[in-house]
């Protein structure tokens, strides 16, 4: 099984939920990672975005295409 790598930065929790649903429906293995750190009260989310999607490198183009489709509406 391929390792997961960072594929796409997410701007907010709504994007994260939408992408999680879409990728699950498509059967694309993935992980959603939040940049929130309670010790810094979300400071990293202001600088880096809400979080990111991790997926297998071979599925990168599919994940990016789904992200673009969801965020262009």
**Mean pLDDT in runs of 10 for the chain (73 residues)?**
91 94 97 76 62 96 96 84
Q: Please give the pLDDT value at position 49.
A: 75
In this prediction, residue 10 carries a pLDDT of: 94
Do 24 and 38 form a contact (C-beta atoms < 8 A)? no
Q: Which of 45, 53, 70 is nearest to 9 (CA)?
A: 53
Domain locations in the chain as residue ranges: 5-71
The pLDDT of residue 5 is 97
Q: What integer pLDDT is reported at residue 35 of this predicted model?
A: 78
Kindly give the interhelix angle for 13-26 and 60-71, rounded to the nearest 10 degrees: 130
- Residue-level pLDDT at 1: 64
Report the alpha-carbon distance of residue 6 to residue 1 in Å, rounded. Answer: 16
């Amino acid at each position: 099984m391929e390792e997961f790598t960072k594929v796409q930065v997410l701007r907010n929790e709504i994007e994260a939920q939408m992408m999680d649903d879409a990728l699950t429906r498509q059967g694309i293995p993935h992980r959603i990672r939040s940049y929130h750190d309670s010790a810094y009260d979300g400071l990293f989310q202001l600088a880096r975005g809400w979080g990111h999607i991790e997926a297998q490198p071979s599925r990168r183009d599919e994940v990016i295409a789904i992200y673009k489709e969801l965020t262009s509406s």
